Amino acid sequence: MDSDNKVWKVINGGVAAPKGFYAVGVQAGVKSRDKYDVALVFSQVQAQAAGVYTRNLVKAHPLYLTQHHLQNGLAQAIVINSGNANACVGASGDQAALAMAQVVAMFLAVHVEDVLVASTGVIGVEMPIDRVLNGIRAASAELLGDVVKGIREPKEISEDGAHRAALAIMTTDTTVKERALELPCQGGVIRLGGMAKGSGMIHPNMGTMLGFLTTDANVAASELQRILREAVDESFNMVTVDGDTSTNDMVLVLANGASGLMLSGEDLLNFEKMVKMMCVELAQDIARDGEGASKFMEVTVNGAKTKEDARKIARSICGSSLVKTALFGEDANWGRIFTAAGYAGAEFNPDKVDILLGDLIVALAGRGVEFSEEKAKEILGFKDVHISLNLHIGEEQATAWGCDLTHEYVTINGSYRT
């Protein structure tokens, strides 16, 4: 998308920026005493909702619960914990996920089916449910105002509340990933908020990443599902860190209609573009924050016969361990790029392919050309490195994002559980 054509503007507030949404993060002791690890996102009214989930056959207990609760396309709250994935622990995992939803429902006076649950962290370890539930109670108490005549009203929380929610969903992340945008429309403005987490176990079809979007636009659940699926295909499913797809990933979107605006025509089109742009930027944030990463890699494939072929090749190159280690070593080994394209499962003619590192041509028509090694090393020494291929057999294009593979990645994951 051409950034010059954006009609929205960046605002503050994260997931709590849209009208009628509130968010908070607390320290519940799931990870450590000084880390935020339980987050709560709440809409003052029931919202239209949609979700996209991991394709891993092994799925975490909260993911099954969330899928079940979203069957009617409605939700009002999302509760998230980090530090424990609540995955692969049997019946106790189902019970823990349900207990999280039940406590949220009780404190916020909503239907339990309107509470979505997400977890992230270590797989195969029993959830410290007492600590998590205490965290939910603390988050609810902070979010709620005084109880008057049995009616609980959410109170205004500073932008710090949404920021703490974004902190609370992090595991090995080193940076917070949150954004908010405002779109002028006929009759007023609509807002879009978002936060995500992800650093390791990141791969197309989603890895250990979570994403949460909120909007005060009035959009039907079926339309939300379509928009979210298309956005995820262009963003979170085009990012890879290490080739591992986890058990817990999901992206959820809630639209509560509090703006009073029903989108149509150009306003709806701009809203779709804004959602896709936010998802792309959050996906890029994840790639930049890859575990142990020192470089951000963007791979663009042009001239493909189909969009899916372009996507396959771009993802394959980003996911290649040999490409990633060459990037780390600042070695212009373009043969690794070409090889990764070749096993991507896409159709192309190797004798037509051009390859560039930045603006430096390293291969034309499938053959290497003379190039300056010094110039190549300079390009590969940048924090952001762009690789591009032109297949010269069609008009389709796609971009994927990833990072290099460093010694630090092995260090982090060699002792992740202990």
As a whole number of angstroms, the distance between CA 259 and CA 271 comes to 13
Which one is catalytic: 172, 208, 214, 240? 208
Let me know if 245 is a catalytic residue: no
As a whole number of angstroms, the distance between CA 119 and CA 80 comes to 5
Compute the C-alpha angle 384/385/387, nearest 5°: 150
- In 3D space, the residue among 297, 302, 272 whose CA is nearest the CA of residue 398 turns out to be 302
* C-alpha dist (Å) from residue 296 to 285, 383, 405: 10, 6, 10
Residue ranges of the alpha helices (H) in 72-128? 91-108
According to DSSP, the residues that pair with 262 across neighbouring strands are 218
Q: Are the C-beta atoms of residues 145 and 154 closer than 8 Å to each other?
A: yes
Alpha-carbon dihedral angle through residues 99, 103, 108, 113, given to the nearest 10 degrees: 20
Structure tokens at 293: 């990463």
According to DSSP, the residues that pair with 9 across neighbouring strands are 182
CA 341 to chain CA centroid, Å, is 25
As a whole number of angstroms, the distance between CA 279 and CA 181 comes to 12
- In 3D space, the residue among 118, 95, 121, 132 whose CA is nearest the CA of residue 49 turns out to be 118
Q: Are the C-beta atoms of residues 60 and 94 closer than 8 Å to each other?
A: no
**Other beta carbons less than 10 A from residue 50's beta carbon:** 24
For 130, residues 6+ apart whose C-beta sits below 8 A from its C-beta are: none
Active site residues: 208
